[in-house]
Amino acid sequence: MNIRSNLILFFIAAAFVVTGVFVFSRQGRTNLPPATATARISPPAATVPTPSSPSATQDAKAQSTAAVADTAPDLQASPLTAPAANRMPPTVYDYTVVNTFPHDPAVFTQGLVYLDGILYEGAGLYGRSSLRKVELATGQVLQQQDLDETYFGEGIALLDDQIYQLTWKNGVGFIYDRETFEKTGEFSYTTEGWGLTHDGQQLIMSDGTPVIYFLDPATLQETRRITVTIEGQPLAQLNELEYVDGKILANVWQTDLMVRIDPATGAVDGVYDFTGLLAQAPPSADSAPPAAPPDVLNGVAYDPASGHLFVTGKLWPTLFEVEMHPR
């Protein structure tokens, strides 16, 4: 391994440090667990992204200021918890933009699924949350189911012609018929709801802590859980999820990074660095300024036919088709 590669790995490893309890304003999200059970992840110092300031439309979420230690789930070992993860450093991946598509800049993207040329998208914010069916090529909304203004929509998953959608702090999720978008059921959970995906057998859910939960889709009950670690340290702020080739991808909130997680152990074995992605968006034909500035990276979907990812962010005007390759 050459000197440059060693330096890159050194800076990546140095970024995975144990932090104290701190509070970000993800419109009020304060989901980090205690300092003894969390690591913060960031790219090398020269490329650390600066979190964007919340827009006025996001201020409704700034009302929650409770300490995380009061709400974080118990991270102690249990029969449902995966064995301790290894301390191997993850492989770092860069991206190549293959294509770009229009994306509604008014949508606060919380969940994203791709199937046969169609995107299914879960949108957040109080009074603006919805489930949407969108044509990939044009960005045209083909179907939409709005949530009551008391709900802040979060991650979604499509399994067996049913769409599952989380809400942030209400402790309730919704089940819809994929074709009609008719609500066919509800389910409850005791944590916050952040990201959602599935492995073909079980739903997989994040809540902003290092814990990822596996749920039986028939009963919506937890079957097991893993604690996500990077080089042996628990990693929090896990947001939107996608299951790809036997691994779980997770956006790390307030960064330009995704991590790739071994679902058996919880160990992070890959880091996808999307620094500078939004800057590659094509110029807008609309001269009017956006209603709100783009927020953080969030939203990942997978196309098994091409092996490419679709990536966007909250209030982004563009959705990117990307190909990943090791740095």
CATH of 3-46+65-326, picked from 3.30.750.24, 2.40.128.630, 2.120.10.70, 1.10.540.10, is: 2.40.128.630
Q: Is 123 helix (H, G, I), strand (E, B) or coil?
A: strand
Neighbours of 11 (CB within 10 A): 16
Burial of 25 per CB tally in 10 Å (0-12, 13-18, 19+)? middle
Tokens 């036919």 label which residue?
305
For the chain, what's the residue count? Answer: 327
Is-contact 219 205, C-beta < 8 A?
A: no
What pLDDT digit, counting tens, does each position of 276-322 carry?
Answer: 999 999 887 665 666 678 899 999 999 999 999 999 999 999 999 99
Query: Using alpha carbons only, how large is the chain's radius of gyration in Å?
Result: 18
Long-range contacts of 219-223, Cβ-Cβ distance < 8 Å, separation of 24 or more: 220/173, 220/187, 220/188, 220/189, 222/80, 223/80
Output the pTM of the full model. Answer: 0.77
φ/ψ of residue 312, rounded to 5:
-150, -165
Tokens 């919704």 label which residue?
174
φ/ψ of residue 4, rounded to 5:
-60, -45
Hey, where are the domains in the chain? Answer: 3-46+65-326
For residue 258, the model assigns a pLDDT of 97
What pLDDT digit, counting tens, does each position of 77-127 carry?
Answer: 333 444 545 677 899 999 999 999 999 999 999 999 999 999 999 999 999
Averaged pLDDT of the chain = 80
Structure token digits, residue 38? 């969390």
Structure token digits, residue 222? 């937890």
- The pLDDT > 70 percentage for the chain reads 72
